[in-house]
C-alpha cells in the first residue's frame, strides 16, 4: 500500500509540475503576443505618420493640376468663341461679296456707292451689326479698331497667287474685326484681329466675240427707228434674220448674227458700240442652238392658297398653281412671296398697277406675263435651285416649249426683270415708249426668246453680270458665283 501510494504521489507531483510548466509557457506566449501587437501598432502609427507628413505635397500637386486644367478650359472657351466668330465673319464676307458682285454691271465694273450699299446691307442681314460701315479699297490689309470692310473690283489682296487677280469682273470683299478674348489676357493675348475674304463674279467672262451672251433669239427685229439696246458686259446673238432701222443703236461686247441682215435705213444712221474690232453687227458661220433647251420644266404644284382671279390691293400672294392666272386692276399693288408660280393662264398687270416679288419663278404652261402701259413690275428670280420649292436658279419668266403666247412690255415706269426671260416658242415685244428706259434697275438679266421685236424709241438695258446664256467660251446660264 505504501509503495502504491508513493507512486501515486509521485505521479500527481509530475502532473502538477507539467501543469505549472504549461501555465508558464502560456504566459510567455501571451507576453510575446502582446509584444508583437505593440510592435504592429507602432508600425502602423509610423506609416500613418509618414503619410500624414506627405499630405501637404499632395495638396500642392492638386492645386497645380487644377490651375492647369482651368487654364486649358479657359483657352478652350476663347478658341471656341473665336472660331464661332470667324465662321460668322466668313459667312458675312461671302454674302457681301455676292451682293457686291451682282452690282458689277450696274457699276460698270468699278467700285460704286450702289455696290457699297448692297454689301453693307448683306452684312446686316447676316447678323453682323455695327455702326456706319464705310467701305474702302486697297490691296493691303491692316488691323482695325472696329469692323471694317474693303471692296476691290479686281481682286488684289493675294496678288498674283490669286487666279482672279485684277479681273474686273470679280468683286473682292475683305472684313476685319478685333475680337477680345475672355481669358487670353492671362497669357498676354487680349485681342485677336479676325479677317475674312471672299470673291464673287464671273471669272470666265471676256469682251471678245467669244464672250458671254445675255440675249439669244432666232429673229431680232427693230420694227421702227430709234430702238436702243444697252448690254453691259455681255453680247447679243441672233440665230435667224436680223432687221434694223433708222437710228437704232446697240451697245454690247459683241453682236453676232447667223442668218441675214436687212439694214434698211440703218447704213449711215445707226450706232454700234461693240467690243474688239467690231464696227457693226458681224456675221458668223457658226450656228448656236438654244442654250436653255436642256432645262427640265418644273412640276405642277398644288393649287395656291391665294388663288384668285383679281387680288385685292396690298395682298401678298403665295406660290403654287394658278389654273386661270390672275388680273391686277388699275392702281392695285400686289406682292409675290418667294417660290414657284405655275400658271395655267396669263398675269395681266393693268395701267397703274404694280407687281413686285423677290425669289420668284413664273412658269406659264399657258398664257403669258402682260404688262400694260403705265404698269410697273419689279421681279427678281431665285438665286438657288431648290427641289423643295421646285424653282431653278436664275429663271424668272419661263414659258412651256409649246406655249406660243407672246409677252409684251408696254411703256411703264421703274420696271425691271432680274433673271432670265425664256420664251422658247414665243415673241417678246417692247412696245413704243418715247424716252422710256426698261430694266435699268436689274443687277442682271438674260433673254432667250424665239422672236424679239423692238418698237420705236424704246431703250432696253441689260446688266450681264450673273446672267449668261452660252455661246462661245463655254458660257452657261448662271456662271455668276462665289469664287473664294
Give residue 404's pLDDT: 96
Give residue 449's pLDDT: 95
pLDDT over 70 (residue 189) = no
pLDDT over 60 (residue 367) = yes
Q: pLDDT tens across 277-298, in order? A: 788 999 988 888 887 887 889 9
Q: pLDDT tens across 129-178, in order? A: 665 677 888 898 887 778 889 999 989 999 988 877 888 778 899 999 88
Give residue 8's pLDDT: 38
Radius of gyration of the chain (CA): 43
The arithmetic mean of pLDDT across residues 12-17, rounded, is: 45
Give residue 177's pLDDT: 85
Comparing 1 with 118, the larger pLDDT belongs to 118
Question: Would you state the cell numbers that stand for residue 177, as one nine-digit string?
Answer: 474685326
Comparing 423 with 147, the larger pLDDT belongs to 423
Three-class SS string for the chain?
Answer: CHHHHHHHHHHHHHHHHHHHHHHHHHHHHHHHHHHHHHHHHHHHHHHHHHHHHHHHHHHHHHHHHHHHHHHHHHHHHHHHHHHHHHHHHHHHHHHHHHHHHCCCCCCCCCCCHHHHHHHHHHHHHCCCCCCCCCCECCCCCCCCCCCEEEEEECCCCCHHHCCCCCCCCEEEEEEEEEEECCCHHHHCCCEEEEEEEEEEECCCCCCCCCCCEEEEECCEEECCCCCEEEEECCEEEECCCEECCCCCEEEECCEEECCCEECHHHCCCCEEEECCCCCCCEECCCCCCCCCCCCCCCCCCCECCCCCCCCCCCCEECCEEECCCEEECCCCEEEECCEEEEECCCEEECCCCEEEEECEEEEECCCCEEECCCCEEEEECCCCCECCCCECCCEEEEECCCCCCCEEECCCCCCEEEEEEEEEEEEEEECCCCCEEECCCCCCEEEEEEEEEECCCEEEEEECCCCCCCCCCCCCCCCCEECC
Q: Cα–Cα distance between 314 and 354 in angstroms, integer? A: 10
Q: Which band of pLDDT confidence, cut at 50, 70 and 90, is reported for residue 63? A: low
Give residue 178's pLDDT: 85
The arithmetic mean of pLDDT across residues 88-112, rounded, is: 81
pLDDT over 90 (residue 299) = yes
pLDDT over 90 (residue 50) = no
> 91: number of CA atoms within 13 Å, CB side?
11
The arithmetic mean of pLDDT across residues 55-63, rounded, is: 66
Least confident of 122-131, 200-209, 381-390, 419-428: 200-209
Q: pLDDT tens across 303-352, in order? A: 999 998 999 999 999 999 999 999 999 999 999 999 999 999 999 999 99
Comparing 230 with 64, the larger pLDDT belongs to 230
Q: Cα–Cα distance between 353 and 333 in angstroms, integer? A: 6
pLDDT over 80 (residue 381) = yes
Give residue 397's pLDDT: 96
- Mean residue pLDDT of the chain comes to 78
Q: Which band of pLDDT confidence, cut at 50, 70 and 90, is reported for residue 75? A: low
Give residue 65's pLDDT: 64
The arithmetic mean of pLDDT across residues 38-67, rounded, is: 57
pLDDT over 80 (residue 40) = no
- Name the most confidently modeled range: 14-18, 47-51, 107-111, 476-480: 107-111
Q: Which band of pLDDT confidence, cut at 50, 70 and 90, is reported for residue 467? A: low
Q: How many CB atoms lie within 10 A of CB 19?
A: 10
Give residue 62's pLDDT: 65
pLDDT over 70 (residue 375) = yes
Give residue 6's pLDDT: 45
The arithmetic mean of pLDDT across residues 176-198, rounded, is: 74
Give residue 2's pLDDT: 39
Phi and psi at residue 5, to the nearest 5°: -65, -40
pTM > 0.75: no
Give residue 77's pLDDT: 64
* Residue 458 CB partners (closer than 8 Å, separation 6+): 227, 228, 411, 430, 431, 432, 433, 436, 438
Give residue 13's pLDDT: 45
Amino acid at each position: 500500500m505504501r509503495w502504491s501510494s508513493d507512486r501515486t504521489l509521485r505521479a500527481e507531483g509530475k502532473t502538477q509540475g507539467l501543469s505549472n510548466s504549461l501555465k508558464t509557457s502560456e504566459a510567455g506566449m501571451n507576453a510575446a503576443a502582446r509584444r508583437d501587437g505593440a510592435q504592429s501598432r507602432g508600425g502602423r502609427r509610423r506609416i500613418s505618420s509618414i503619410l500624414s507628413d506627405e499630405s501637404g505635397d499632395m495638396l500642392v500637386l492638386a492645386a497645380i493640376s487644377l490651375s492647369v486644367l482651368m487654364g486649358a478650359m479657359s483657352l478652350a472657351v476663347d478658341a471656341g468663341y473665336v472660331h464661332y466668330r470667324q465662321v460668322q465673319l466668313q459667312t458675312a464676307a461671302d454674302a457681301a461679296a455676292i451682293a457686291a458682285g451682282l452690282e458689277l454691271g450696274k457699276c460698270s465694273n468699278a467700285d460704286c456707292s450702289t455696290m457699297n450699299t448692297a454689301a453693307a446691307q448683306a452684312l446686316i442681314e447676316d447678323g453682323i451689326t455695327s455702326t456706319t460701315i464705310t467701305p474702302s479699297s486697297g490691296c493691303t490689309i491692316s488691323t482695325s479698331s472696329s469692323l471694317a470692310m474693303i471692296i476691290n473690283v479686281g481682286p488684289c489682296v493675294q496678288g498674283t497667287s490669286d487666279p482672279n487677280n485684277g479681273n474686273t469682273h470679280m468683286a473682292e470683299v475683305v472684313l476685319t474685326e478685333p475680337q477680345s478674348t475672355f481669358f487670353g489676357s492671362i497669357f498676354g493675348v487680349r485681342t485677336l484681329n479676325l479677317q475674312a475674304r471672299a470673291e464673287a463674279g464671273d471669272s470666265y467672262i471676256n469682251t471678245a466675240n467669244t464672250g458671254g451672251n445675255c440675249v439669244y433669239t432666232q429673229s431680232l427685229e427693230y420694227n421702227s427707228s430709234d430702238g436702243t439696246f444697252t448690254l453691259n458686259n455681255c453680247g447679243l446673238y441672233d440665230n435667224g434674220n436680223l432687221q434694223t432701222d433708222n437710228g437704232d443703236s446697240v451697245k454690247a461686247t459683241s453682236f453676232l448674227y447667223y442668218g441675214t441682215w436687212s439694214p434698211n435705213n440703218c447704213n449711215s444712221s445707226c450706232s454700234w458700240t461693240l467690243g474688239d474690232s467690231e464696227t457693226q453687227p458681224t456675221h458668223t458661220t457658226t450656228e448656236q442652238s438654244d442654250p436653255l433647251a436642256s432645262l427640265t420644266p418644273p412640276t405642277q404644284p398644288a393649287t395656291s392658297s391665294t388663288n384668285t382671279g383679281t387680288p385685292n390691293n396690298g395682298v401678298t400672294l403665295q406660290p403654287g398653281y394658278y389654273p386661270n392666272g390672275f388680273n391686277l386692276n388699275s392702281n392695285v399693288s400686289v406682292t409675290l412671296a418667294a417660290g414657284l408660280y405655275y400658271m395655267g393662264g396669263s398675269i395681266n398687270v393693268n395701267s397703274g398697277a404694280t407687281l413686285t416679288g423677290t425669289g420668284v419663278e413664273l412658269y406659264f404652261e399657258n398664257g403669258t406675263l402682260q404688262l400694260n402701259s403705265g404698269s410697273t413690275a419689279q421681279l427678281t428670280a431665285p438665286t438657288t435651285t431648290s427641289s423643295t420649292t421646285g424653282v431653278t436658279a436664275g429663271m424668272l419668266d419661263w414659258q412651256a416649249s409649246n406655249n406660243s403666247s407672246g409677252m409684251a412690255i408696254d411703256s411703264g415706269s421703274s420696271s425691271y426683270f432680274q433673271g432670265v426671260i425664256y420664251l422658247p416658242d414665243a415673241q417678246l415685244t417692247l412696245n413704243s415708249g418715247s424716252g422710256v428706259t426698261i430694266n435699268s434697275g436689274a443687277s442682271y438679266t438674260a433673254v432667250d426668246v424665239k422672236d424679239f421685236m423692238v418698237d420705236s424709241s424704246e431703250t432696253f438695258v441689260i446688266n450681264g453680270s450673273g446672267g449668261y446664256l452660252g455661246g462661245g467660251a463655254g458660257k452657261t446660264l448662271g456662271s455668276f458665283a462665289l469664287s473664294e
